[in-house]
């Protein structure tokens, strides 16, 4: 009952849905990820990726209206509603603004003397190759039961698949928006696979069988490349090609069904992250000393990654361990039952912008994973999550 109550409290009040259909990442700017540090960002925008992660949680709750509104927002900013064709950006202003130039307000001392205070976000112009897959996965998730795609959206989706085909072999800034040099991030390649896989399924719904067949072939090419170049000698998926560093974004490999839960590489990856990429049991995005993210200083545990780990542990049959972690995470909630982007593991202090929308929706998915697995008493790794593609 405690887990169910937590999911009910996390009901999408943690997500700011704007009249335009945009989903706001957070309501604040420059709350520091490191006390007195420089990892301070403006989150008052609508990230495509963050929004689609939020829609996973809304789907779990049976809520479709927010998804319909967000897809209409995407059709609008991509130019589909007026016959134009704009590349999909990483993020937009809540009114669809495309230019989000970053500036530092050096006359302000910042929260708890953390400088600089920033407005705008320079990541808007980055190449992040995971956004096409997150977008297509979300659309497929919300439309597969309806068996039809909104007419204005199909050209947009087709364009996203074409972008993934065009760029998947190139390095990018990745899901974590590093300010260092572009890398061949494995999670970006996986989400390009997702773009082709979900794109082929959507093409079938649209009656575009030639596209569906063509995209399935390319999806298999991407998967083969990842398994050849993005797996270490232990069978663990790595942060980037040619390196053994771990990255919490690889938990998405099982949550998106890149590989099935009973694949030994999935189990090895999930357990490596759980055992080696945690501080006091909470998940880090990556080890900052192993990743050229272009910034100095440490950061806290990334809350959404810890909730992803709960879901991933359930997937591989580690239900008791998943419940224990989930209950611990719930104990860190603020008095308002809200979460910031990060948690300092030793003190439980919330770090980063607050409240962070996608954290709360990942909480819902994690709790539902645990509840359903326990109800089914199925620790075999065959549990089907609410957001599993069919």
pLDDT along the chain (390 residues), means of 10: 55 58 90 88 93 84 83 84 78 93 95 93 94 95 79 89 98 94 97 98 95 98 99 98 97 98 98 97 94 80 97 96 97 94 93 92 93 75 48
Query: What CATH number does the domain containing 168 carry?
Result: 1.50.10.10
Flag whether 53 is in a domain. Answer: yes
Cis peptide preceding 355, ω within 30 of 0: yes
Q: What spatial distance separates the first Cα and last Cα of the chain, rounded to whole Å?
A: 29
pLDDT at position 377 is: 62
Flag whether 388 is in a domain. Answer: no
- Give me the DSSP letters along 59-111: HHTT--HHHHHHHHHHHHHTTGGGT---PPPSEE-TT-------EE-TTS--G
**Which residues make Cβ contacts (< 8 Å) with residue 147, sequence separation at least 6?**
205
pLDDT at position 82 is: 67
Q: What is the rounded CA–CA span in Å between residue 12 and residue 208?
A: 35
Tally of domains in the chain: 1
Q: What is the rounded CA–CA span in Å between residue 102 and residue 92?
A: 13
Q: What residue numbers bound the domain in which 54 lies?
A: 2-376
Flag whether 338 is in a domain. Answer: yes
pLDDT at position 105 is: 96
Flag whether 81 is in a domain. Answer: yes
Flag whether 193 is in a domain. Answer: yes
pLDDT at position 9 is: 58
Flag whether 383 is in a domain. Answer: no
Tokens of 144: 């597969």
pLDDT at position 14 is: 45
pLDDT at position 10 is: 53
**C-alpha closest to that of 73 among 145, 139, 129, 130:** 139
pLDDT digits (tens, 9 = 90+) for 153-168: 899 999 999 999 999 9
């Amino acid at each position: 009952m405690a887990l169910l109550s937590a999911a009910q409290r996390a009901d999408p009040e943690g997500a700011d849905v704007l009249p335009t259909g945009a989903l706001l990442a957070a309501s604040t700017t420059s709350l520091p990820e490191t006390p007195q540090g420089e990892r301070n960002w403006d989150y008052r925008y609508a990230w495509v990726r963050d929004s689609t992660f939020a829609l996973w949680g809304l789907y779990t709750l049976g809520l479709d209206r927010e998804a319909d509104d967000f897809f209409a927002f995407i059709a609008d900013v991509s130019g589909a509603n007026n016959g134009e064709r704009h590349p999909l950006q990483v993020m937009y202003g809540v009114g669809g603004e495309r230019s989000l130039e970053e500036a530092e307000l050096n006359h302000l001392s910042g929260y708890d003397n953390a400088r600089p205070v920033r407005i705008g976000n320079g990541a808007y112009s980055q190449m992040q190759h995971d956004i096409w897959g997150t977008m297509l996965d979300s659309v497929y998730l919300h439309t597969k039961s309806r068996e039809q795609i909104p007419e204005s959206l199909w050209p947009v989706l087709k364009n996203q698949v074409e972008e993934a085909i065009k760029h998947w072999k190139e390095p990018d800034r990745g899901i974590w928006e590093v300010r260092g040099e572009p890398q061949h991030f494995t999670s970006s390649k996986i989400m390009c696979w997702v773009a082709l896989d979900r794109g082929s399924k959507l093409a079938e719904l649209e009656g575009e069988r030639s596209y569906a067949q063509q995209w399935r072939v390319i999806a298999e090419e991407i998967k083969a490349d990842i398994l050849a170049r993005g797996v270490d000698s232990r069978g663990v998926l790595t942060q980037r090609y040619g390196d053994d560093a771990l990255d919490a974004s690889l938990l998405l490999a099982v949550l998106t069904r890149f590989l099935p839960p009973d694949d030994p590489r999935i189990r090895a990856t999930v357990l490596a992250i759980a055992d080696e990429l945690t501080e006091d049991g909470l998940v880090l995005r990556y080890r900052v000393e192993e990743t050229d993210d272009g910034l100095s200083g440490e950061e806290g545990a990334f809350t959404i990654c810890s909730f992803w780990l709960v879901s991933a542990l359930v997937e591989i049959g580690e239900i008791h361990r998943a419940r224990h972690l989930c209950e611990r995470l719930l104990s860190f909630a603020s008095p308002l039952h809200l979460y910031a982007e990060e948690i300092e593991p030793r003190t439980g202090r919330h770090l980063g912008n607050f409240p962070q929308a996608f954290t709360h929706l990942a909480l819902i998915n994690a709790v539902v994973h645990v509840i359903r697995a326990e109800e089914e008493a199925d620790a075999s790794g065959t549990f089907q999550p609410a957001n599993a593609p069919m």
